[in-house]
Amino acid sequence: MSSVALLTERRTFKRLRFAAPRLFATLLAFILAAIWLGPLALMVMTSIKPNKEFLNGPFALPIAPTFEPYQKVWEGLNFGVLMQNSVLYATTGSALAVLLALVPAFALSRFEIPGKKYVFALLLTGLILPQQTVLIPLYAVLRSLHLLDTRIGLIIVHGVYGMPAQILILRGFMTTIPREIEKAAQIEGATDFQIFTKIILPLSVPGIVVGYTLNFIAIWKEFVFALVFLNSENILPVTVGMLKLNSDRYITAFNLPAAGLVISQIPIVILFILTYRGISSGNFVGSVKG
Amino acid sequence: MMSRIDDERYSFLAFARNHVFVTLFGIVAPVLLFACFIGYPIVYTIYLSFFEWNGMAPTKTFVGLANYSYMFGDKYFYISLENNLKWLVVSLAFPVVLGFLIAYAMRVRAVYFPTLLRTAIFFPVTMSLVAVGLMFLLILNPIFGAFDTVLRALGLGFLVSEWFGDYRIAIYTLAFVGGWAFTGLPMIFYFAGIGDVPKETFDAARIEGAGHLRMMLRVALPQLRSVTAVVVMLTLFESLKAFDLIAVMTKGAPFGRTNVLGYLVYLESFWNSRFGYGATVSVAILVLSIAIATLMLGTVFRGAFDV
Amino acid sequence: MGRSSNKLTRRKFLRTTAAIGGGAAASAFGLNSARAAPIELRYFYRAAWPTSETYANWLIDEWNKKNGDRVHVTGSSVDGETYKTKQTIELSSSSPPDIFYSWEGGRAAEIIKAGFSADLTPYYQKFGWDKSLNPASVTLATFDGKKYFVPTEIGASVVWYRKDLHDKLGLSVPTTWDEMMANAQKAKAAGIAPFMLSNQKKWPAQFMWSAMMVNKYGLDAYQGLIDNKIPWTDPRAVDITAMMQKLAEDGMFIPDFNSIDFAPAQVPWTQGKALYWYMGSFILGSFRGDQKECCQVPTDWFAFPAMSDKKPIMSIYDEDTVMIHAASKNKDEAAEFVDWMVSPAASAKKLEIDKPYASNASTDLSHLPEMEQRLGKAMADAGSYTFMHVDHGTPPAISDRFLDGLQGVLAGAISPQEAMAATETEAERVRGKIKT
């Protein structure tokens, strides 16, 4: 599989010595990295700058660094609660999406189901759909199910809306699993269910991890559904809570939005460190492309 | 039991009888959920597009095709449509191409410290666009923005513009900010994709004395057709969905020139209390997405998903 | 921010239980089974300013401290920008808030028309609000003889000026348009932008537009536009738009004004890069900054000067207002809470932790700086309602197009005629053609 391929590939390319000046390329790479990391570093610096120092220009180093903005944002927006909620929605929402997607992915990767084409068309529609277009009817659906302004309601929505992408990812992954083992199991009379739980599921773990992580990030970033379907402040996620920092009437305390921004990224940084190898090696691509 | 497609009398019912578990949990359950939470909303949106409704009144007024005929004469609709296309072009040109170049450079080990580069570029993919928007509002600010300061320091002061205030460039500013946050995704896809290309292919080309340009265009890209298909599709959907950044950064200003279809739906529905018309624009987005996706899958990417 | 975390937690806890049980079910249950359970009220508000949130928390906590065992209030807030989206959804939901932030003018009319707003006339009598509140603000709450909302904060738009710059340039406070323009020229010659304009989100430019319209062509002409009696393509409206365009062309506004947002504009203002700023009194919240008292730089105000022989008129309007939902089961209790919101005690606290001005006419302004006191008095003396800026006066669909047009004109992208024609097209879509 890809991770194995990856290792061998590295060695291959090591032998390919191109004439292109590697230092020059590295310099370019550093400039690129600076463009991508610069804004983030700037935000960290801005977040610890006292208000008065803003007149000194954006790159002036903080003279009297302060962590007060962090304290203010944390308490003012109730960030602890927001954070808990975001983590809850992202973990459970993506778990639900993966759970819902497993058997369909299995079905689409292993069986010639009549009308398979239409199933794919449906899935793609689910992927295409901009959220704003379904807000009103979805709101009505949730209302009739008494799921408005509840955590579980939002989790279900995230689960279902994550499902199409997860089916595609997992299906792609499952198609790469060799079929010889199943064939043997089938001959011994294994049922679909047994093949699924005993063979496919264990072998799909890397695909599941990747799909789950991508969905986690997606839910972490999401704000339209949460904004419209939730009211109670104690169940709002970070993205919605942070909107308050965007008020155009916010006093000239730019360290507050910056601090909020930095805090909001901390859990994702942790996730990033934990799963980075998994994501960045791009194992999932093999799965998506099928 | 697999691959029974050769059986002429094969039908869905027969399949269901043979595969109860798969049918129930693999087809019926997801289709039901889809119907309830995704299908019904779509159908309802189409239904709503034939009505006029302020979102508050208990009754909706049937107006037939009036919303559609209004839409085809609505300047804002065309500006938004155009902006979506501009966004798509920028996204294909900047994050996708750059993502590919970076992935290639890392795979052929043309740079030192590839991990640093990869981490830096990928990180913004994990950021909420609300946060990205807030950040770039500060950075591109004309008064104390860091970007203008950098340009001036580099002697490029003549490039300084009103990034959000000038109606000719505001939409591109937004698209580039969006691209900044998006580049990591195509990069990762290509990075993995190139890793899966058999090494012999590259070796052979190398022996024939191919340069980087030829390696990329003639060797890598043809092998990466399905990855490109995925990336282009993702980019297409993302640019048609573009909403968050506009909601946070410009709200359509200056004078509606940064509206995109997704934001127009929101503006007309929730701001101007015209939910019927908002639904009409939604239908337009839906038709557009499906049309472009079908077109691409039927031509350039035929068979790329081996459905 | 972060006041009395104890109470906050208790409120949050109650809210959680309510949410888990499903709002309506929980309160219905409460009424039947346990007699001691308090009536639950939900207050849904717009937190446009960080201080609005702090103040609302204080209001709710104080109320619950005193009356929590009888009538318990829970608050939920949405930031200023997204409030409207949520409001539409919340009001028509099956468990709407009992008390909610509304707007005056065009948006209020929409809500009233949709039947969400309870008639508050009896409560005005019961609590004597018509006497205790600023008369101008009460006039605005009246629609077809009935009163539908209660103003909690009122505002006035005036020309704020940098006192120190005025002195440095040897300028005197202008009373006519020409005098103001002469001052502007001197400022410009000295390298200072005559007017601050933070028009990125397109709403600020309308302030000056409406003031010019009223002072040049009279209140009737402006009100005619707002009340759908005069089309937006009227030569007077076009003329004012053209005047604004001329000001922009002449460099009367700070450079890059279409890229500067309201909050960042405080930076060049503090740096002394602009002399005048025509803006609502809510800006005092920004002028105050981190300090307890206004202002960070020497600031004073004067009324928008006369542009013709007509007596200049200051814009006085309701900045924050609340309505009681028509479907609320506990309107009497909700009205009690509203009465607490506009009480002298709450109003005094508003000035302390939020910003001026409270709608209660008898609010003690004595601890405010002299300049703010003077403005407060001018508002009280105005007697009756004057005029609202366009985005308050007209339904959002019209004002949005108007603001787009004005911003386009200032950017030099479209002509004043085009801007007003676009506004009129939109207005016709909302209200139909005006019969002349």
Residue B60 sits at the chain C interface (C-beta within 8 Å): no
Q: Counting Cβ atoms within 10 Å, is residue C232 exposed (0-12), middle (13-18) or buried (19+)?
A: buried
From chain C residues 212-271, the ones with a CB under 8 A of any chain B CB are 255-261, 264-265, 267-268
- Tens digits of per-residue pLDDT, B260-294? 999 999 999 988 889 999 999 999 998 988 888 78
Give the rounded percent of residues in chain B with a pLDDT score beyond 70.
94
Q: Cβ(B221)–Cβ(B110) under 8 Å? A: no
Query: What is the mean pLDDT of the segment spanning A229-258?
Result: 78
The answer to whether the CB atoms of C264 and A233 lie below 8 A apart is: no
ipTM score for this prediction: 0.84
Residue B181 CA: distances (Å) to CA of A223, A283, B117, B126, B237: 16, 21, 14, 8, 15
Decide which of C392 and C289 is more confident.
C392
pLDDT of residue C15: 43
Domain edges within chain A:
79-289
Which two structure tokens, joined as six digits, stand for C10? 């208790």
The answer to whether the CB atoms of C18 and A249 lie below 8 A apart is: no
Query: What is the mean pLDDT of the segment spanning A86-112?
Result: 92
pLDDT of residue A247: 60
Q: Which chain C residues contact residue A254 at CB under 8 A?
A: 264
Give the residues across from C274 on adjacent strands: C193
pLDDT of residue B108: 81
Show Cβ contacts of residue C66 under 8 Å, excluding neighbours closer than 6 positions.
none
Query: Residue B162: left if φ>0, alpha if ψ -120 to 50, beta else—which one?
Result: beta
Q: Which of B45, B122, B139 sits opposite A42 (nearest CB)?
A: B139
The answer to whether the CB atoms of A58 and B125 lie below 8 A apart is: no
Q: Which of B303, B198, B191, B172 is nearest to B250 (CA)?
A: B172
Q: Which chain A residues contact residue B55 at CB under 8 A?
A: 136
pLDDT of residue A65: 87
pLDDT of residue C306: 92
- Tens digits of per-residue pLDDT, A24-59? 888 888 899 999 999 999 999 989 988 777 777 778
Q: DSSP states of C44-68 as a string?
A: EEEE-SHHHHHHHHHHHHHHHHHHT
pLDDT of residue B3: 46
Pairing of strands C99-102, C39-47: parallel
Q: Cβ(A282)–Cβ(B192) under 8 Å? A: yes
The answer to whether the CB atoms of C268 and B143 lie below 8 A apart is: yes
- Tens digits of per-residue pLDDT, A127-178? 877 888 888 889 888 988 989 889 999 999 999 999 988 998 888 888 888 8
pLDDT of residue B42: 92
Question: Does residue A3 surpass a pLDDT of 50?
Answer: no
Q: Which chain A residues contact residue C44 at CB under 8 A?
A: 231
Residue A244 sits at the chain C interface (C-beta within 8 Å): yes
- Spell out the domains of chain C, with CATH numbers in brackets: 5-153+319-367 (3.40.190.10), 156-316+386-431 (3.40.190.10)
Q: Cβ(C313)–Cβ(C184) under 8 Å? A: no
* Domain A79-289, CATH class in plain words: mainly alpha
Please work out, in degrees rounded to the nearest 5, the angle formed at the alpha carbon of residue B223 by the alpha carbons of B219 and B224.
Answer: 115
Q: Provide the CA A212 distance to its chain's centre, in angstroms.
A: 8
Q: Which of A72, A148, A244 sits opposite C47 (nearest CB)?
A: A244
CATH superfamily of B69-298: MetI-like (1.10.3720.10)
The answer to whether the CB atoms of C405 and B255 lie below 8 A apart is: yes
Chains touching chain A through at least 3 C-beta pairs below 8 angstroms are: B, C
How many CB atoms are located within 10 Å of the residue B193 CB? 29
Q: Which of B12, B112, B265 sits opposite A26 (nearest CB)?
A: B112
Q: Which chain C residues contact residue B137 at CB under 8 A?
A: 261
Confidence class for position A7, pLDDT limits 50, 70, 90: very low
Q: In C266-328, at which residue ranges do the beta strands (DSSP E only) sit?
A: 274-280, 299-302, 315-324
Decide which of C278 and A177 is more confident.
C278
The CA distance from C82 to the nearest CA of chain B, in Å, is: 9
Q: Which of A54, A148, A249 sits opposite C286 (nearest CB)?
A: A249
pLDDT of residue A249: 52
Q: DSSP states of B133-160 as a string?
A: HHHHHHHT-TTT-HHHHHHHHTT-GGG-
Backbone angles phi, psi at C75, to 5 degrees: -105, 150
Quote the CA–CA distance of B247 and B130 in Å, as a whole number.
Answer: 9
Question: Does residue A13 surpass a pLDDT of 70?
Answer: no
Handedness of CA C322, C327, C332, C333 (dihedral sign): negative
Identify which of A243-252, C77-86, C104-113 has the greatest average pLDDT. Answer: C104-113
Q: DSSP states of C172-235 as a string?
A: ---SBHHHHHHHHHHHHHTT-EEE----TTS-THHHHHHHHHHHHH-HHHHHHHHTTSS-TT-H
Q: Which chain B residues contact residue A243 at CB under 8 A?
A: 130
pLDDT of residue C31: 44
Number of CB pairs, chain A paired with chain B, less than 8 A apart: 320
Query: What is the mean pLDDT of the segment spanning C336-341?
Result: 96
pLDDT of residue A10: 47
Question: Does residue B306 surpass a pLDDT of 80?
Answer: no
Question: Does residue C274 surpass a pLDDT of 90?
Answer: yes
pLDDT of residue A251: 53
Residue B77 CA: distances (Å) to CA of B82, B89, C406: 9, 18, 20
How many CB atoms are located within 10 Å of the residue A193 CB? 14
Q: Which chain C residues contact residue A241 at CB under 8 A?
A: none
- Tens digits of per-residue pLDDT, C158-187? 999 999 999 999 999 999 999 999 999 999
Quote the CA–CA distance of B296 and B300 in Å, as a whole number.
Answer: 5
Q: Which of B127, B134, B243 sits opposite A245 (nearest CB)?
A: B134
Which two structure tokens, joined as six digits, stand for B55? 């979102």
pLDDT of residue A60: 81
Q: Which of B11, B44, B134 sits opposite A114 (nearest CB)?
A: B11
Residue B273 sits at the chain C interface (C-beta within 8 Å): yes
Residue A76 sits at the chain C interface (C-beta within 8 Å): yes
**For C200, nearest residue in chain A (alpha carbons):** A248
How many CB atoms are located within 10 Å of the residue A86 CB? 26
Query: What is the mean pLDDT of the segment spanning C330-352?
Result: 94
pLDDT of residue B304: 59
pLDDT of residue B62: 96
Quote the CA–CA distance of C55 and C282 in Å, as a whole number.
Answer: 15
Q: Which of B143, B146, B135, B142 is nearest to B177 (CA)?
A: B135
pLDDT of residue A232: 82
